A = this chain, B = another copy of it.
Amino acid sequence: MRQSQLFTKTIREASKDEKSLNAQLLLRAGFIDKLSSGVYTFLPLGFRVLEKIEKIISQEIESINGQRILMPTLVSKKNWQQTGRWKAFEELYKVKGKGGQEYGLGSTHEEVIVPVVQKYVSSYKNLPCYVYQIQTKFRDEIRVKSGILRTREFDMKDLYSFHKDEKDLDKYYEKVKKTYFDILKRMGLKDKTYLTLASGGTFSKFSHEFQTITPAGEDIVHICQNCGLAVNEEIKKDHSKCFQCGRREFKKEKVIEVGNIFKLGTKYTKPFNFQFTDKDGSKKLVVMGCYGIGLSRLMGTIAEVHNDKSGIIWPKEVAPFDAHLIQIGNSNEINKQTKKVYNAFEKQGIEVLYDDREDKSPGEKFADADLIGIPLRIVISERTLAKNCVEIKKRSKTKTELVKLNLLNSYICKNS
Protein backbone atom coordinates (compact mmCIF):
# COMPACT_ATOMS: atom_id res chain seq x y z
CA MET A 1 0.00 0.00 0.00
CA ARG A 2 1.16 3.49 -0.80
CA GLN A 3 1.53 5.56 2.34
CA SER A 4 0.36 8.66 0.50
CA GLN A 5 -3.01 6.91 0.13
CA LEU A 6 -3.31 5.81 3.78
CA PHE A 7 -5.86 8.20 5.24
CA THR A 8 -4.38 8.19 8.73
CA LYS A 9 -1.27 10.13 9.70
CA THR A 10 1.05 9.78 12.63
CA ILE A 11 0.49 12.19 15.50
CA ARG A 12 3.52 13.80 17.19
CA GLU A 13 2.01 14.45 20.61
CA ALA A 14 0.51 11.76 22.76
CA SER A 15 -3.06 12.57 23.67
CA LYS A 16 -3.33 13.90 27.21
CA ASP A 17 -6.25 11.81 28.40
CA GLU A 18 -4.55 8.55 27.46
CA LYS A 19 -2.28 7.55 30.30
CA SER A 20 -1.41 4.04 29.15
CA LEU A 21 1.58 3.30 26.97
CA ASN A 22 -0.27 0.99 24.56
CA ALA A 23 -2.94 3.59 23.79
CA GLN A 24 -0.37 6.39 23.44
CA LEU A 25 1.73 4.40 20.99
CA LEU A 26 -1.22 3.03 19.02
CA LEU A 27 -2.96 6.40 18.84
CA ARG A 28 0.17 8.29 17.79
CA ALA A 29 0.97 5.74 15.07
CA GLY A 30 -2.61 5.76 13.74
CA PHE A 31 -3.65 2.22 14.68
CA ILE A 32 -6.65 3.19 16.78
CA ASP A 33 -8.92 6.14 17.48
CA LYS A 34 -10.85 6.74 20.67
CA LEU A 35 -14.58 7.38 20.25
CA SER A 36 -15.42 7.53 23.94
CA SER A 37 -14.09 6.14 27.20
CA GLY A 38 -13.33 2.45 26.64
CA VAL A 39 -14.60 2.49 23.05
CA TYR A 40 -12.16 2.53 20.13
CA THR A 41 -12.13 2.41 16.33
CA PHE A 42 -9.50 0.21 14.70
CA LEU A 43 -8.01 2.22 11.83
CA PRO A 44 -6.46 0.60 8.71
CA LEU A 45 -3.12 -0.23 10.38
CA GLY A 46 -4.83 -1.47 13.55
CA PHE A 47 -7.36 -3.50 11.60
CA ARG A 48 -4.51 -5.25 9.77
CA VAL A 49 -2.94 -6.24 13.11
CA LEU A 50 -6.28 -7.51 14.40
CA GLU A 51 -6.65 -9.57 11.21
CA LYS A 52 -3.22 -11.14 11.72
CA ILE A 53 -4.04 -11.98 15.34
CA GLU A 54 -7.35 -13.47 14.24
CA LYS A 55 -5.65 -15.59 11.59
CA ILE A 56 -3.14 -17.02 14.08
CA ILE A 57 -5.85 -17.82 16.61
CA SER A 58 -8.22 -19.43 14.13
CA GLN A 59 -5.42 -21.53 12.60
CA GLU A 60 -4.34 -22.81 16.00
CA ILE A 61 -7.87 -23.43 17.28
CA GLU A 62 -8.76 -25.29 14.09
CA SER A 63 -5.65 -27.42 14.55
CA ILE A 64 -7.36 -28.75 17.69
CA ASN A 65 -10.62 -29.25 15.78
CA GLY A 66 -12.50 -26.10 16.72
CA GLN A 67 -15.46 -25.40 14.42
CA ARG A 68 -16.12 -21.72 13.92
CA ILE A 69 -19.54 -20.13 14.25
CA LEU A 70 -20.92 -16.61 14.74
CA MET A 71 -23.34 -16.05 17.61
CA PRO A 72 -25.67 -13.09 18.10
CA THR A 73 -24.95 -10.03 20.21
CA LEU A 74 -28.64 -9.61 21.06
CA VAL A 75 -29.06 -12.50 23.50
CA SER A 76 -32.63 -12.86 24.82
CA LYS A 77 -33.38 -12.19 28.47
CA LYS A 78 -34.86 -15.68 28.83
CA ASN A 79 -31.53 -17.31 27.96
CA TRP A 80 -29.74 -15.26 30.64
CA GLN A 81 -32.51 -16.01 33.11
CA GLN A 82 -32.12 -19.74 32.59
CA THR A 83 -28.63 -19.59 34.13
CA GLY A 84 -29.43 -16.84 36.62
CA ARG A 85 -27.04 -14.40 35.00
CA TRP A 86 -29.68 -11.83 33.98
CA LYS A 87 -29.45 -10.70 37.60
CA ALA A 88 -26.07 -12.05 38.64
CA PHE A 89 -23.93 -10.67 35.81
CA GLU A 90 -23.32 -7.07 36.77
CA GLU A 91 -21.47 -6.04 33.63
CA LEU A 92 -24.28 -7.05 31.28
CA TYR A 93 -25.53 -4.25 29.02
CA LYS A 94 -29.31 -4.52 28.77
CA VAL A 95 -31.34 -3.37 25.79
CA LYS A 96 -35.06 -3.17 25.26
CA GLY A 97 -36.60 -3.20 21.80
CA LYS A 98 -39.68 -1.22 20.78
CA GLY A 99 -41.72 -4.41 20.78
CA GLY A 100 -40.76 -5.09 24.39
CA GLN A 101 -38.08 -7.71 23.65
CA GLU A 102 -35.26 -7.58 26.19
CA TYR A 103 -31.69 -8.54 25.43
CA GLY A 104 -28.35 -8.71 27.18
CA LEU A 105 -25.48 -7.79 24.85
CA GLY A 106 -23.29 -10.87 24.50
CA SER A 107 -20.28 -10.67 26.80
CA THR A 108 -19.85 -14.42 27.00
CA HIS A 109 -21.94 -16.94 25.11
CA GLU A 110 -22.62 -20.03 27.22
CA GLU A 111 -26.31 -19.08 27.22
CA VAL A 112 -26.35 -19.33 23.42
CA ILE A 113 -23.92 -22.13 22.62
CA VAL A 114 -25.41 -24.64 25.08
CA PRO A 115 -28.92 -24.66 23.56
CA VAL A 116 -27.46 -24.59 20.03
CA VAL A 117 -25.23 -27.64 20.54
CA GLN A 118 -28.03 -29.34 22.50
CA LYS A 119 -30.16 -29.34 19.34
CA TYR A 120 -27.65 -31.56 17.55
CA VAL A 121 -25.91 -33.59 20.23
CA SER A 122 -27.89 -36.35 21.94
CA SER A 123 -25.60 -39.38 22.00
CA TYR A 124 -22.11 -40.23 23.23
CA LYS A 125 -21.37 -40.77 19.53
CA ASN A 126 -21.69 -37.01 18.95
CA LEU A 127 -19.13 -36.20 21.66
CA PRO A 128 -16.66 -34.64 22.12
CA CYS A 129 -17.30 -31.52 20.05
CA TYR A 130 -15.50 -28.20 19.90
CA VAL A 131 -17.05 -24.93 18.79
CA TYR A 132 -15.54 -21.46 18.74
CA GLN A 133 -16.34 -17.87 17.87
CA ILE A 134 -14.27 -14.75 17.27
CA GLN A 135 -16.41 -11.66 17.67
CA THR A 136 -17.10 -8.41 19.46
CA LYS A 137 -18.17 -8.70 23.09
CA PHE A 138 -19.53 -6.11 25.48
CA ARG A 139 -19.02 -5.43 29.15
CA ASP A 140 -20.38 -2.54 31.18
CA GLU A 141 -17.15 -1.74 33.01
CA ILE A 142 -17.50 1.07 35.55
CA ARG A 143 -13.86 2.03 35.27
CA VAL A 144 -12.04 1.66 32.01
CA LYS A 145 -8.37 2.35 31.78
CA SER A 146 -5.19 0.96 30.32
CA GLY A 147 -6.04 1.87 26.72
CA ILE A 148 -7.26 -1.14 24.76
CA LEU A 149 -6.39 -3.55 27.59
CA ARG A 150 -9.75 -3.04 29.30
CA THR A 151 -12.58 -1.64 27.23
CA ARG A 152 -16.37 -1.73 27.10
CA GLU A 153 -16.35 -3.35 23.67
CA PHE A 154 -13.64 -5.82 22.64
CA ASP A 155 -12.79 -8.70 20.34
CA MET A 156 -12.68 -12.15 21.91
CA LYS A 157 -12.13 -15.70 20.83
CA ASP A 158 -14.17 -18.13 22.90
CA LEU A 159 -13.87 -21.86 22.44
CA TYR A 160 -16.38 -24.19 24.07
CA SER A 161 -15.79 -27.92 24.42
CA PHE A 162 -18.40 -30.58 25.15
CA HIS A 163 -17.51 -33.98 26.63
CA LYS A 164 -19.01 -37.20 27.90
CA ASP A 165 -17.01 -37.10 31.11
CA GLU A 166 -14.43 -35.20 33.14
CA LYS A 167 -11.59 -37.40 31.97
CA ASP A 168 -12.21 -36.46 28.37
CA LEU A 169 -12.46 -32.78 29.34
CA ASP A 170 -9.16 -33.00 31.24
CA LYS A 171 -7.42 -34.37 28.17
CA TYR A 172 -8.67 -31.61 25.90
CA TYR A 173 -8.01 -28.95 28.54
CA GLU A 174 -4.32 -29.87 28.53
CA LYS A 175 -4.30 -29.69 24.73
CA VAL A 176 -5.74 -26.17 24.81
CA LYS A 177 -3.11 -25.10 27.37
CA LYS A 178 -0.40 -26.13 24.95
CA THR A 179 -2.18 -24.49 22.00
CA TYR A 180 -2.47 -21.20 23.91
CA PHE A 181 1.30 -21.11 24.29
CA ASP A 182 1.64 -21.86 20.56
CA ILE A 183 -0.59 -18.85 19.88
CA LEU A 184 1.36 -16.64 22.29
CA LYS A 185 4.66 -17.73 20.79
CA ARG A 186 3.61 -16.61 17.31
CA MET A 187 2.71 -13.21 18.79
CA GLY A 188 5.99 -12.76 20.63
CA LEU A 189 4.38 -13.06 24.06
CA LYS A 190 5.31 -16.57 25.18
CA ASP A 191 8.45 -15.61 27.13
CA LYS A 192 6.65 -13.05 29.27
CA THR A 193 3.48 -15.07 29.84
CA TYR A 194 2.94 -17.34 32.84
CA LEU A 195 0.41 -20.08 33.27
CA THR A 196 -1.27 -18.92 36.45
CA LEU A 197 -3.46 -20.66 38.97
CA ALA A 198 -6.61 -18.70 39.71
CA SER A 199 -9.86 -19.40 41.47
CA GLY A 200 -11.85 -22.06 39.72
CA GLY A 201 -15.43 -21.08 40.28
CA THR A 202 -17.93 -23.81 40.97
CA PHE A 203 -16.50 -26.89 39.35
CA SER A 204 -12.75 -27.33 39.57
CA LYS A 205 -10.48 -26.13 42.33
CA PHE A 206 -8.53 -23.85 40.01
CA SER A 207 -8.86 -22.29 36.62
CA HIS A 208 -5.86 -21.19 34.61
CA GLU A 209 -5.02 -17.73 33.43
CA PHE A 210 -2.40 -16.70 30.90
CA GLN A 211 -0.79 -13.68 32.50
CA THR A 212 1.73 -11.51 30.67
CA ILE A 213 4.20 -9.39 32.62
CA THR A 214 3.84 -5.69 31.86
CA PRO A 215 3.96 -2.59 34.03
CA ALA A 216 0.47 -1.73 32.73
CA GLY A 217 -0.92 -4.92 34.23
CA GLU A 218 -4.00 -4.74 36.41
CA ASP A 219 -3.47 -8.10 38.09
CA ILE A 220 -0.69 -9.28 40.37
CA VAL A 221 0.81 -12.75 40.28
CA HIS A 222 3.39 -14.45 42.44
CA ILE A 223 5.87 -16.48 40.44
CA CYS A 224 7.61 -19.35 42.20
CA GLN A 225 11.35 -18.73 41.86
CA ASN A 226 12.01 -22.44 41.97
CA CYS A 227 9.59 -24.04 39.49
CA GLY A 228 8.11 -21.06 37.64
CA LEU A 229 4.45 -21.69 38.48
CA ALA A 230 2.50 -18.46 38.90
CA VAL A 231 -0.36 -17.92 41.29
CA ASN A 232 -2.89 -15.12 41.13
CA GLU A 233 -2.76 -12.85 44.16
CA GLU A 234 -6.45 -13.53 44.89
CA ILE A 235 -5.65 -17.13 45.85
CA LYS A 236 -1.97 -16.67 46.87
CA LYS A 237 -2.89 -14.89 50.06
CA ASP A 238 -4.30 -18.14 51.46
CA HIS A 239 -1.19 -20.14 50.66
CA SER A 240 2.44 -19.54 51.58
CA LYS A 241 3.92 -22.52 49.77
CA CYS A 242 4.10 -23.21 46.05
CA PHE A 243 1.30 -25.54 44.93
CA GLN A 244 3.66 -27.41 42.67
CA CYS A 245 7.04 -27.68 44.41
CA GLY A 246 6.32 -26.57 47.97
CA ARG A 247 9.01 -23.85 48.07
CA ARG A 248 8.41 -20.39 49.50
CA GLU A 249 10.32 -17.93 47.32
CA PHE A 250 8.08 -15.89 45.04
CA LYS A 251 8.49 -12.84 42.88
CA LYS A 252 5.58 -10.42 42.59
CA GLU A 253 4.83 -9.11 39.09
CA LYS A 254 2.21 -6.84 37.53
CA VAL A 255 0.50 -8.72 34.73
CA ILE A 256 -2.26 -8.47 32.18
CA GLU A 257 -4.56 -11.45 31.67
CA VAL A 258 -4.51 -12.29 27.96
CA GLY A 259 -6.40 -15.56 28.22
CA ASN A 260 -8.18 -17.87 30.61
CA ILE A 261 -9.44 -21.41 30.54
CA PHE A 262 -12.11 -22.97 32.72
CA LYS A 263 -13.41 -26.40 33.44
CA LEU A 264 -17.10 -25.56 33.60
CA GLY A 265 -18.29 -29.08 34.24
CA THR A 266 -22.08 -29.09 34.21
CA LYS A 267 -22.48 -25.49 35.39
CA TYR A 268 -24.19 -24.43 32.15
CA THR A 269 -25.45 -27.76 30.82
CA LYS A 270 -27.50 -28.35 33.97
CA PRO A 271 -29.76 -25.28 33.73
CA PHE A 272 -30.54 -26.22 30.11
CA ASN A 273 -30.80 -29.91 31.06
CA PHE A 274 -28.40 -30.78 28.25
CA GLN A 275 -28.09 -34.56 28.55
CA PHE A 276 -26.74 -37.23 26.27
CA THR A 277 -27.37 -40.97 26.07
CA ASP A 278 -24.26 -42.89 27.05
CA LYS A 279 -23.12 -46.22 25.60
CA ASP A 280 -24.99 -48.12 28.33
CA GLY A 281 -28.24 -46.28 27.61
CA SER A 282 -28.07 -44.04 30.68
CA LYS A 283 -28.71 -40.30 30.48
CA LYS A 284 -25.92 -37.99 31.68
CA LEU A 285 -25.28 -34.28 31.69
CA VAL A 286 -22.73 -33.09 29.14
CA VAL A 287 -19.47 -31.80 30.67
CA MET A 288 -18.08 -28.49 29.37
CA GLY A 289 -14.91 -26.46 29.16
CA CYS A 290 -14.48 -22.88 27.95
CA TYR A 291 -11.38 -21.12 26.74
CA GLY A 292 -11.13 -17.36 26.16
CA ILE A 293 -8.50 -15.16 24.62
CA GLY A 294 -8.83 -11.43 23.92
CA LEU A 295 -7.78 -10.22 20.46
CA SER A 296 -7.81 -6.48 21.03
CA ARG A 297 -6.28 -7.03 24.45
CA LEU A 298 -3.50 -9.09 22.85
CA MET A 299 -2.85 -6.23 20.45
CA GLY A 300 -2.50 -3.81 23.37
CA THR A 301 -0.32 -6.26 25.28
CA ILE A 302 2.01 -6.71 22.31
CA ALA A 303 2.37 -2.91 22.09
CA GLU A 304 3.11 -2.77 25.85
CA VAL A 305 5.75 -5.49 25.63
CA HIS A 306 7.40 -4.74 22.29
CA ASN A 307 8.44 -1.12 22.02
CA ASP A 308 11.26 1.35 22.55
CA LYS A 309 11.30 5.11 22.96
CA SER A 310 10.67 5.59 19.22
CA GLY A 311 7.57 3.42 18.95
CA ILE A 312 6.21 -0.08 18.58
CA ILE A 313 8.30 -3.07 17.43
CA TRP A 314 5.77 -5.55 15.99
CA PRO A 315 6.68 -9.23 16.01
CA LYS A 316 6.74 -10.51 12.43
CA GLU A 317 3.50 -12.48 12.38
CA VAL A 318 1.32 -9.68 13.76
CA ALA A 319 2.90 -6.70 11.99
CA PRO A 320 0.53 -4.68 9.79
CA PHE A 321 2.97 -5.09 6.89
CA ASP A 322 6.02 -7.27 6.26
CA ALA A 323 8.20 -4.38 5.15
CA HIS A 324 8.27 -0.58 5.09
CA LEU A 325 9.76 0.65 1.82
CA ILE A 326 11.01 4.22 2.05
CA GLN A 327 11.88 6.35 -0.92
CA ILE A 328 14.32 9.21 -0.29
CA GLY A 329 14.45 11.72 -3.10
CA ASN A 330 12.30 12.13 -6.18
CA SER A 331 14.60 11.79 -9.16
CA ASN A 332 13.36 9.75 -12.11
CA GLU A 333 15.85 7.00 -11.36
CA ILE A 334 14.83 6.74 -7.69
CA ASN A 335 11.14 6.77 -8.63
CA LYS A 336 11.69 4.07 -11.20
CA GLN A 337 13.78 1.77 -8.99
CA THR A 338 11.54 2.11 -5.94
CA LYS A 339 8.40 1.42 -7.93
CA LYS A 340 10.10 -1.61 -9.44
CA VAL A 341 10.92 -2.99 -5.99
CA TYR A 342 7.41 -2.20 -4.75
CA ASN A 343 5.71 -3.89 -7.69
CA ALA A 344 7.93 -6.96 -7.34
CA PHE A 345 6.96 -7.27 -3.66
CA GLU A 346 3.25 -6.86 -4.39
CA LYS A 347 3.45 -9.52 -7.07
CA GLN A 348 4.99 -12.00 -4.63
CA GLY A 349 2.39 -11.31 -1.97
CA ILE A 350 4.88 -9.60 0.35
CA GLU A 351 2.91 -6.92 2.17
CA VAL A 352 4.63 -3.58 1.88
CA LEU A 353 3.84 -0.11 3.10
CA TYR A 354 5.50 2.13 0.49
CA ASP A 355 6.37 5.59 1.78
CA ASP A 356 6.01 7.50 -1.47
CA ARG A 357 5.19 10.81 0.22
CA GLU A 358 6.89 13.70 -1.53
CA ASP A 359 6.37 16.34 1.15
CA LYS A 360 8.18 14.56 3.99
CA SER A 361 11.84 14.80 4.92
CA PRO A 362 13.97 11.66 5.40
CA GLY A 363 13.94 12.36 9.15
CA GLU A 364 10.16 12.49 9.26
CA LYS A 365 9.89 9.29 7.24
CA PHE A 366 12.31 7.45 9.54
CA ALA A 367 10.54 8.68 12.66
CA ASP A 368 7.17 7.53 11.26
CA ALA A 369 8.64 4.15 10.34
CA ASP A 370 9.96 3.68 13.89
CA LEU A 371 6.64 4.73 15.41
CA ILE A 372 4.58 2.40 13.18
CA GLY A 373 7.03 -0.41 13.90
CA ILE A 374 7.04 -2.64 10.80
CA PRO A 375 9.79 -5.30 11.23
CA LEU A 376 11.87 -4.45 8.15
CA ARG A 377 12.73 -0.95 6.90
CA ILE A 378 14.03 -0.77 3.33
CA VAL A 379 15.44 2.55 2.15
CA ILE A 380 16.14 3.48 -1.45
CA SER A 381 18.09 6.70 -2.05
CA GLU A 382 20.63 8.16 -4.43
CA ARG A 383 23.37 6.95 -2.13
CA THR A 384 22.13 3.32 -2.04
CA LEU A 385 21.41 3.23 -5.77
CA ALA A 386 24.99 4.39 -6.49
CA LYS A 387 25.99 0.99 -5.12
CA ASN A 388 23.06 -0.85 -6.75
CA CYS A 389 21.79 -1.44 -3.24
CA VAL A 390 18.99 -0.79 -0.81
CA GLU A 391 19.60 -0.12 2.88
CA ILE A 392 17.88 -2.51 5.25
CA LYS A 393 17.30 -2.11 8.96
CA LYS A 394 15.41 -4.39 11.27
CA ARG A 395 13.11 -2.42 13.57
CA SER A 396 14.46 -4.38 16.55
CA LYS A 397 18.14 -3.65 15.76
CA THR A 398 20.21 -0.52 15.37
CA LYS A 399 22.57 -1.56 12.60
CA THR A 400 21.76 -1.10 8.94
CA GLU A 401 23.03 -3.19 6.07
CA LEU A 402 23.32 -2.69 2.34
CA VAL A 403 21.76 -5.40 0.20
CA LYS A 404 22.24 -5.64 -3.57
CA LEU A 405 19.03 -4.95 -5.50
CA ASN A 406 19.26 -8.31 -7.24
CA LEU A 407 19.59 -10.13 -3.90
CA LEU A 408 16.76 -8.22 -2.18
CA ASN A 409 14.20 -10.86 -2.99
CA SER A 410 16.00 -13.73 -1.36
CA TYR A 411 16.88 -11.51 1.62
CA ILE A 412 13.20 -10.72 2.18
CA CYS A 413 12.10 -14.33 1.75
CA LYS A 414 14.56 -15.35 4.45
CA ASN A 415 13.54 -12.53 6.81
CA SER A 416 9.78 -12.26 6.49
- Which A positions have Cβ atoms within 8 angstroms of B? 5-9, 30, 33, 35-37, 39-44, 46-47, 50, 65, 67-76, 79, 90, 93-95, 97-99, 101, 105, 112, 116-117, 119-121, 126, 129, 131, 135-136, 138, 140, 142, 152-153
Contacts and interface: CB of A to CB of B under 8 A. Distances in A.
B42 A69 contact: yes
20 contacts: A7-B67, A7-B117, A7-B129, A35-B72, A35-B74, A35-B75, A35-B79, A35-B112, A36-B74, A36-B76, A37-B101, A41-B71, A44-B67, A74-B138, A74-B153, A93-B95, A93-B97, A94-B95, A98-B140, A135-B136
A186 B98 CA distance: 38
A90 B33 CA distance: 28
A7 B120 contact: yes
A107 to B, nearest CB: 12
Q: Which 7 A-B pairs have the closest CB atoms?
A: A42-B70, A7-B129, A44-B67, A36-B76, A39-B72, A97-B140, A41-B71
Given A41-B71, A42-B69, A47-B70, A35 B76 contact: yes
Given A35-B79, A120-B9, A105 B95 contact: yes
A360 B7 CA distance: 55
A172 to B, nearest CB: 14
Contact of A95 (B35, B41, B95, B121): B95
B73 A44 contact: no
Given A35-B79, A98-B142, A120 B74 contact: no
Q: Identify which of A9, A76, A93, A129 gathers the most chain B CB atoms within 10 Å of its CB.
A: A93
A211 to B, nearest CB: 27
Contacts of A41: 69-72, 112, 116
A37 to B, nearest CB: 7
A7 B122 CA distance: 11
Contacts of A44: 67-69, 131
Contacts of A119: 33
Contacts of A131: 7, 44
Nearest to A68: B47
A40 B72 contact: yes
Contacts of A5: 65, 67, 129
Given A7-B117, A44-B69, A120-B9, A39 B152 contact: no
A142 B101 CA distance: 10
A309 B253 CA distance: 63
A121 B7 contact: yes
A30 B90 CA distance: 34
Contact of A138 (B35, B50, B73): B73
A344 B39 CA distance: 46
A79 B6 CA distance: 25
A69 B51 CA distance: 11
Nearest to A5: B65
Contacts of A138: 73-74
Q: Identify which of A35, A73, A138 gathers the most chain B CB atoms within 10 Å of its CB.
A: A35
A317 to B, nearest CB: 19
A207 to B, nearest CB: 25
Q: Identify which of A33, A40, A46 gathers the most chain B CB atoms within 10 Å of its CB.
A: A33
A101 to B, nearest CB: 7
A158 B95 CA distance: 24
